[in-house]
Amino acid sequence: MTFRGKAGIYAIAVLLRLVLFFAFPGLPDLLTGRVEISTPVTSFKRLEEGLFLYNHNVWPYDGGVYHQAPLLLPLFSLLPDSTSWPIFTPLLYILIDLLSADALVKIAASGEAGKSRLFTSPRQGKGSTGLVIAAAFLFNPLTIASCVGRTTSVFTNCAILCAIAKAVQGFSFHAMVALSFASYLSMYPVLLLPPLVLLAYDKRASQKTSVLKFSALNVLVVAGCLSVLLGMSYALTGNSWEFLARTYGIQLTLTDLTPTVGLWWYFFIEMFDSFRSFFLALFWLHLASYVGGLTIRLRTQPLAALAVLLGIFSIFKPYPSISDASLFLGLFSLYTHLLPLMRYTYVASATLMYASFLGPAFYHLWIYAGSGNANFFYAITLVWSLGQSLLVSDLTFAVLRDEWEVERPEMVGKEAKQI
C-alpha cells in the first residue's frame, strides 16, 4: 500500500462527501431525519436542540429530546456557528470518517486478522490490502449516509476502531482510553472490554504479566477514564447526576419508542406493561450473554470475536442504525480471506440490499402515504436483521472452520454442516 494510493482514496472520499454536503443542500437534513440513520440517541437534530438549550444556559435535557452524552455539547459549541459557517460541522464529520478509515488501515496492516499470537490462518496473506479495506469502508453507502446524516454514532464508531487499532499495535493504555470514550458516548461498547483486553494482551511484546493482572489493570484504566468523563459531565450539567437517567437511562429503559432498524421498538410497543421491565432486562442480558461465550470460543482470535460481537450488537442493541452496520461491515472486510469458506454470502448480501431499498419505501408507505402500517416497516427491519445475522453467523462459521482446518488438515475443501 503506497502512501499515494492512500492519500488518493482519502482525497476522493473527502471530495465525495463535500459534494454531497454542498451540491445537494437539502440532502444532509433529509438524511438527518431518516429513522434508519438517526436514532433517538444519535440524532443530529436532537443534538442541535440540546446545543441550543446548552448555549442559552438551559439544562440541555430539559427539552426531553436530547439523550446524548453531555460532553458532545461543548465540542459542538466550540465549532463556529453552523448557520453562518456551515462548513465546519461537515469537516468535523469527514475528519472522523477519515480517522476511522485510518484505524482500519492500521488494523489491516498489523495482519491480526490472519495471524494472531495463538493462531495462524492457512489463508494468511490472501486478504485484502489496507487500501481496499479503507476504500470499502469509506465508499460504503451506509458509511457515507451516516456521515452526511451527521449521526453522533460516527464518533462512537471511530472510538471503537481507534481502540482496536491501538490494541493491535500493543498500546493497551491508549486502547482502553479510546474504549472508555466509546462507552461514554454510547454505553454498549463497554461490553467489548473482555475481547479487547485479550487482544491487547496478545499483542504485547512480552507476556510476562499474567492475563488476570493485565486485565485488572486495564479494567482499572477504563473505570478511571469513565469516572473522569462522567465527572466532567457532572460538572458540565450543573452538578447533577440527572444526566445519567436522561442518556444511559433512556437506552436502558427504552422510554423513547421512535422506530429504528432494530427489533426493540416494536416489541416494546406491543409489550404488556407489567412485563416490560422483565423483557428489558432480558433483552439487555441477551445482548451481554454473547460476550463471554464468544470471547472464550474465539480466544485465539480476539479480533474476530470483536468483529462478531459488533455484528451482534448492530442487530440486537436498543437503538441500532445503519451506522452500526457500517462499522461491522468495515471489520468484516478484514476477513475477506475467509470469503471462500462462507456459505451464504450471496443470500446475506441480497437480503441486505433488498432491505435497504425496501426499508425507506415501506417507511414512506407507513408514515407519509398512510397506505401501510407499522408492521410494514417492522417486517422490513426484520429482514434487515435477518440479513445481518446471516452475515454474522456466516463469518463466525468461516472463522471456526478456518481454525478447524488447522486442526484437521485432511478435511480441507470438504463440506461441513456443523462445527
Partner 1 sequence: MAPPPSGPTQKDTASSAAASESPAPAAPAVKAPPPETPTAIRRRSYIVLSFWLLVVFLGLPFWWKTTTIYRADLPLDRMLEWADGKACRPAIPIQIAVHADSLQEEEANHLVRLAQHAIDDLNDFSGHHLRLQLAPRQDRPREGEHNPKSALSIHLKPGDATTAALDPYRAALDITYPLNSVPPLHSASSMLTTYIATELRSTFAEEQSIVSYLLSASSSPTSKPAGLSPAVIEALEKRATRALRYAPTYHLTFSLFTDGPAPTTWDIDTAINEYMKPLLDVLGPIHNFTIDTQVQLYATPGVQSQTLTKDDLASFINAAEWPLSPSIGGAPTINFLTFIGNQTIGFPDSEGQTSQSWMIPQWGTVYLLSQPDTNSHVPKDALRQPMLTFGGHLLTLLGTPQSGSLPLRLSSLSRIRSADLLLRASDTLGSLARLSRSLPSIAIPRNVADGVAKSIRHLEEACASLGSSEALYHARIAEEEAERAFFEKSMVGQLYFPDEHKIAVYLPLLGPVTVPLVMGAIKEIKRLLQARKQRAQEAKEKKSQ
Q: What does the binding site for partner 1 look like in residue numbers (CB under 8 A)?
A: 272-275, 277-282, 285-286, 288-289, 292-293, 296-297, 299, 343, 407-408, 410, 413-419
Instruction: Return the C-alpha cell found at 202.
Output: 496478545
Minimum Å gap between C-beta 412 and partner 1 is: 12
User: Given the complex with partner 1, which of 208 and 417 has the nearer CB atom?
Assistant: 417
Nearest-approach distance from CB 400 to partner 1, in angstroms: 11
Local structure of 111: helix, strand or coil: coil
Provide the minimum distance between the beta carbon of 119 and partner 1 in the complex, in angstroms, as a whole number: 13
Least distance to partner 1, CB of residue 390, Å: 13
- Map residue 52 onto helix, strand or coil: helix
CB of 47 to partner 1, least distance (A): 32
Residue 294 CB, shortest distance to partner 1, in Å, is: 9
CB of 239 to partner 1, least distance (A): 31
269/419 with CB nearer partner 1: 419
Nearest distance, CB of residue 394 and partner 1, angstroms: 11
Q: Which is nearer to partner 1, 13 or 400 (CB)?
A: 400
Write the CB contacts of 42 (distance below 8 Å, at least 6 apart in sequence).
68, 151, 152, 153, 156, 186, 319, 321, 323
Give just the sign of the alpha carbon dihedral 260, 266, 269, 275.
Answer: negative
Q: Residue 292 CB, nearest distance to partner 1 (Å)?
A: 3
- Is residue 203 within 8 Å of residue 168, measured between CB atoms? yes
Which amino acid type is present at position 35? V
Q: Which of left, alpha, beta for 24 (phi over 0: left; psi -120 to 50: alpha)?
A: beta
* Distance in angstroms (rounded) separating the CA atoms of residues 290 and 93: 31
Beta strands (DSSP E) in 203-290 are none
Nearest to 117 by CA among 46, 193, 204, 37: 204
Q: Of 23 and 270, which CB lies nearer to partner 1 in the complex structure?
A: 270
* Cβ-based neighbours of 417, under 8 Å, separated by 6 or more: none
| Cα-based torsion angle of the residue sequence 165, 330, 16, 47 in order, rounded to the nearest 10 degrees | -80
Nearest distance from residue 251's CB to partner 1, in Å? 17
Nearer to partner 1, 15 or 412 (CB): 412
Instruction: State whether residue 120 is helix, strand or coil.
Output: strand
Contacts 24+ apart (CB under 8 A), 294-301: 294/195, 295/194, 295/195, 295/198, 297/400, 298/195, 298/399, 299/118, 299/198, 300/116, 300/118, 300/119, 300/403, 301/116, 301/118, 301/119, 301/399, 301/403
**Shortest CB 261 distance to partner 1, Å:** 20
Tell me how far apart the 2 most distant CA atoms of the chain are, in Å. Answer: 70
Nearer to partner 1, 91 or 379 (CB): 379
Residue number with CB closer to partner 1 (2 or 274): 274
When the beta carbons of 272 and 368 are compared against partner 1, the nearer one is: 272
> How many whole angstroms from its chain centre is CA 410?
38
**Phi-psi bin for 88: left (phi > 0), alpha (psi -120 to 50), beta?**
alpha
Nearer to partner 1, 213 or 408 (CB): 408
Residue (of 248, 244, 199, 190) closest to 219 by Cα position = 190
3-state secondary structure of 115: strand
Between 126 and 286, CB nearer to partner 1: 286
Output 79 or 416, the one with its CB closest to partner 1.
416
